[in-house]
Amino acid sequence: MSDIVRIGLAGLGVVGGGVLKLLEQQHGLLHSRTGRRLKTVAVSARERTKNRTADISSLKWYDNPLDLAGDADVDVVCELIGGADGVALELSQAALQGGKHLVTANKALLAHHGNALAHMAEDAGVNLGYEAAVAGGIPIIKALREGLAANKFSGVYGILNGTCNYILTEMRDGVRAGTPRDFDTVLKEAQELGYAEADPSTDVDGIDAAHKLALLTSLVFGCPVDFDAVQIEGIRHINPLDIQYAEELGYRVKLLGVSRASSAGIEQSVHPCMVPERTAIAHVDGVLNAVVSDLADIARGLVVPVFGVPVSALEARPKAPPGSHVGSYYIRLMVVDRPGVIADIAACLRDQEVSVESLLQHGRRPDEAVPVVLTTHVAEEDALARALAAMDELQAVLETPRMIRIVNLS
């Protein structure tokens, strides 16, 4: 085994540039901890002459990142380009087919092509590292794949997107300060501060979190990655009123990725949820990925199954059908405040055998729109959806009813 692990970096953006700089600054420490030298020998990016924090003048430069896969002097390809398809996929396939280790921070790539890439890595006897693809500041992949390998899991949940968490935290802070700000206002501020992309849809519509959840589900349950099985809802419809009522009811609104085994099958969902204020996750507020951790494992000669077990041992599990989730719910309605409205709403719930736990309505403004908030006892989501559809047909209901799951994390 050579004393040097030679690295080819594809993509020199924030993550790639940070990895390159970290490898330079911590070369001595990494050598002492792994017994081998981690050395970047080649790079590829869109612009060669762009000013960067790390010096690349002594490194091989490739205009075409696919050339990294064909370079005999490269042992490990770091794919830090992004995107589920295109050159990121082509480079990953070429690297594994060429017998090179692959390290990526690309959760979209793995959520859509992880099963096939895992097959390729296993056939080639090389490592596919993706610690940075999920919760980059926390070694969750290593913990699940290695540290907790003997454990049997009933589920996994977490806050998987920093942009959404920042937006919801800022909305809550505004409500608490008496200066509520709506989603669009906070999103614009987040974009100006660099916390949200110019096109934020992947984040705020829950897609990014769903990519990560699909990978965690495979690790936790030993099943193939199945992104299409994730039920996804983003945070665009969250209103300051929802944040306010959540506070009053003892909850905080968080976008959670939740995967659990139920009698109906494996349930994967990304939804805004109300979590009890007393729980630790309710207090996770605000906003270098772990690429180097994967490189250190490769330097140590560690090659482990991509999803915890050999690809041939991944077992297809039944998927919980949409609407089969059973739980409690928060419902907000904007209604014309006149006699009989509450009775009509209650009838919609009664007809679907959904029981009300609590009802909030502050003050009266006859013939004006007022918010009415209900929480339910445990019910099937399909039944609740039918009740909400019936409410939406009521003349006194002026806006589409809004529902948020209430999650019991005990």
Catalytic residues: 212
Spatial separation of the C-alpha atoms in residues 267 and 187, rounded to whole Å: 30
Q: Any idea which residue has 């420490």 for tokens?
A: 29
Give the up-direction half-sphere exposure of residue 271: CA atoms within 13 A in the CB hemisphere: 21
The CA distances from residue 1 to 42, 170, 280, in Å, are: 20, 51, 45
Spatial CB neighbours of 145, under 8 Å, sequence gap ≥ 6: 219, 304, 305, 307, 308
For residue 129 the two structure tokens come to 């590292």
CA quadruple 320, 323, 326, 331: dihedral, nearest 10: 150
- What are 255's strand-pairing partners? 272
Q: What is the residue type of 364?
A: R
Exposure string of 295-312, with b = 16+ CB inside 10 Å and e = fewer, is bbbbbeeebebbbbbebe
Measure the CA–CA gap between 257 and 333, rounded to whole angstroms.
25
Separation between Cα atoms, residue 81 and residue 66, nearest integer Å: 12
Q: Tell me phi and psi for residue 227, to 5 degrees.
A: -60, -35
Structure tokens given for 160: 């998987």
Vertex 353: Cα angle to 348 and 355 (nearest 5) = 85
CA distance 351 to 316: 37
User: 54 — alpha (psi -120 to 50), left (phi > 0) or beta?
Assistant: beta
Contact 120/90 with Cβ under 8 angstroms? no
Closest CA to 266 of 234, 232, 226: 226
Residue ranges of alpha helices (H) inside 194-274 are: 201-204, 207-221, 240-249
